[in-house]
Amino acid sequence: MSSASSAVELAGIARRFGSRWVLKGADLVVGSGEAVAILGRNGSGKTTLLRIVATLLRPSRGSGVVFGHDLAREPDAVRSRIGLLGHTNAIYPDLTAAENLGFTLRMLGRSVDPRAVEATLITVGLGAHANTRARGFSAGMQRRLALARLRALEPQLLLLDEPYSSLDPEGVELVTALIADTRRAGGAAILITHDVSRATSIADRVVMLDDGRIAPWTPGVLVAE
Amino acid sequence: MTARLALSRVMAVAWKDLTTERRSKAGFNGVVFMAAITLLMFGFALGPDPAPIRTAAAGLLWLTVLLSGVLAFNRSYELEIEAGALDALLLYPGGRWPIFAGKLLANLAFVLLVEAITVPIAGVLYDLPLLTPLPGLVGVLFLGTVGFVTLGTYYAAMASRVRAREVLLPLLLFPMLVPLLVAAVGATKAVLAGDPMGYGSAWIRLLAAFDIVFLAATFMTFDYVIGE
């Protein structure tokens, strides 16, 4: 099923929670270097789909491949290629910004170079707060730290669930730059957002998750609602 | 995953948990206070006569460790849930056992530190002769704590995604701890009494066997417990 130029290929992904089918057969192909935005109503299964691609959930039916690696059979290979930014920031409030980033690097088995850590924090505008505990950060600063963490992971596939929440215009630009950098390096991005105008401006393609299936997005849908 | 990467992850998780705990302080102080109050309440419940208190001291001490330790285990995963970081932890490629090992080390250090404060308090409150049997007592406490913390860290992971995890953890953990508790209390009693019947070494061997079984079983199955 996988082709060399595809970053993600999902075929008939279905998932149920109890008796309720949230996804009923979602098909999606994302090419290398492509950014795809997924729109959908609340509860339409967007986050569930993203978590399945991230290997955090198993599909009840269907299969998927990320850069040629099967979600079910090679989850480790998939995990080494993805970077997930979910609703939460995965930041430890009692660690400083630099320590949070250092923890990520140590978990990846990389050496923690304080200058490299500082440089990454400067990239997201937190250079002056490297030694401040994240507990004192605003929601936007915590989101920026989460973006720094994502940069440290150097993922080939970005999975972004409402990445713009809490961010000021400068922070929004950081997300856009991250997506652009990943695409330039041959990676791809799947972006979930309710912001239709941002989705259309950043993504190459906008699709919609409706009734558990992926469908082409028709301009005007959701905007009117 | 190479051994170097695994070790780096184990140490990173342990460091992160202990640093967070040291900085927040709320968890440790609360647990020590709870342990001291529990020992005091047991003392009041058994009355002023020192004989029954001394007889029951080993059991009271271990019950206190168990009750206070549960608070620590719950907190260990609460940190991840509060920060929304559990998913991020699970997404690092490679086996998940280093996460368990790191949390196990941090919890072991935490509970041993709590014991280092509460055991002398028990010694004073219950008039226990701690100095003479100290090396044996330290050994028994360590072996019992390893088994206890291993199961506690494991079941806390199992309960971590459930809303009523504070209630669920003792319900899951305590029945599994009964054999370990019996062996730990037996060994502690024998050590505190100077082991006149020579039963101590049998209890200690049993404790060591429990530790090995618990460690092997939990490390082998942690991936399934922490997953979806």
Mean pLDDT, contiguous 10-residue spans, chain B (228 residues) = 88 95 84 91 87 89 92 86 88 90 96 94 89 90 96 92 83 92 94 80 93 96 84
Residue of A87, A95, A107, A150 to mutate, interface with B, max B Cβ within 10 Å: A107
CA torsion B106-B107-B113-B118 (nearest 10°) is 170
> How confident is the model over A117-171, as pLDDT tens digits?
999 999 999 999 999 999 999 999 999 999 999 999 999 999 999 998 888 888 8
Closest CB to B83: pick one of A56, A93, A106: A93
pLDDT value at position A221?
61
pLDDT value at position A87?
86
Q: Largest Cα–Cα distance in chain A? A: 52
Tokens of A139: 């929601």
> How confident is the model over A50-67, as pLDDT tens digits?
999 999 999 999 999 999
- What are the CA-CA distances from residue B115 to residues A126, B54, B69, B137, B194 (Å)? 41, 18, 10, 11, 21
DSSP A215: E
Closest CB to B93: pick one of A57, A80, A88: A80
Instruction: Kindly tell me if the per-residue pLDDT of A224 is higher than 70.
Output: no
Count the Cβ atoms, other than its own, within 10 Å of residue B120.
Answer: 12
- Note whether A10 and A4 are within 8 A (CB): no
Chain-chain contact of A108 with B4 (C-beta, under 8 angstroms): no
- Give CB contacts under 8 A, 24+ apart, made by B126-134: B126/B39, B126/B43, B126/B50, B126/B53, B126/B54, B126/B57, B126/B60, B127/B50, B127/B53, B127/B54, B128/B54, B128/B57, B128/B192, B129/B192, B132/B194, B133/B191, B133/B192, B133/B194
Closest CA to A101 of A131, A145, A135: A145
**Average per-residue pLDDT in chain A?**
91
> How confident is the model over A185-220, as pLDDT tens digits?
999 999 998 888 888 888 999 999 988 999 888 776
When comparing pLDDT for A225 and B25, which is higher? B25
Count the Cβ atoms, other than its own, within 10 Å of residue A186.
Answer: 12
> How many contacts, defined by CB atoms under 8 Å, are there between A and B?
71
Find the domain containing B116 and state its range.
3-226
Residue B93 with chain A: CB contacts under 8 Å: 76-77, 79-80
- The number of domains in chain B is 1
pLDDT value at position A1?
47
The residues with which A40 forms a beta bridge, in sequence order, are A209
Question: Does A133 contact B at CB distance below 8 Å?
Answer: yes
Classify domain A6-89+156-216 at the CATH superfamily level.
P-loop containing nucleotide triphosphate hydrolases (3.40.50.300)
Distance from CA of A92 to the nearest CA of B (A): 6
Alpha-carbon distance A69 to B85, whole Å? 25
Tokens of B155: 């079941």
Q: β-strand A35-40 against A82-85: which pairing, if any? A: unpaired
Give residues with Cβ within 8 angstroms of B33, minimum separation 6. none
Give residues with Cβ within 8 angstroms of B9, minimum separation 6. A106, A107, A109, B92, B94, B98, B99, B102
Q: What are phi and psi of A110, to 5 degrees?
A: -95, 155
